[in-house]
Amino acid sequence: MNFESKELGIALIVIGVGLLIGSLFLFLNDMNTNDVSYGTFRVLLAVVFSPVLIIMGVRGLVFQYRLNKILDEEKK
């Protein structure tokens, strides 16, 4: 498979945001059932991995933008 950085960047951002929102809802649900220890672990995992995915996605989008800008200048 051949992904462009733009598509991959958007996908990583969507996955990171979804993971963060989903873990927040799971944590709130676990607080209602008094099983906070497992929910806290999930939130900590999401807090660690979500920004990593979002940053990777943004870097991919910036890379694609800069590459397109350089290629457009070379065509002129």
In a domain, 28, yes or no: yes
In a domain, 66, yes or no: yes
The pLDDT value given to residue 39: 61
In a domain, 35, yes or no: yes
Mean pLDDT rounded to a whole number for the chain? 78
**pLDDT > 80? residue 54:** yes
How many Å apart are CA 42 and CA 25, to the nearest integer? 11
Give, for 58, the enclosing helix (H) or strand (E). helix 36-75
In a domain, 68, yes or no: yes
In a domain, 23, yes or no: yes
In a domain, 6, yes or no: no
pTM exceeds 0.75 for this model:
no
In a domain, 7, yes or no: no
Number of domains in the chain: 1
Domain carrying residue 67 = 14-75
Q: Is 2 left (phi over 0), alpha (psi -120 to 50) or beta?
A: beta
In a domain, 1, yes or no: no
Q: Which residue has the tokens 């870097």?
A: 59
The pLDDT value given to residue 4: 67
How many Å apart are CA 20 and CA 23, to the nearest integer? 5
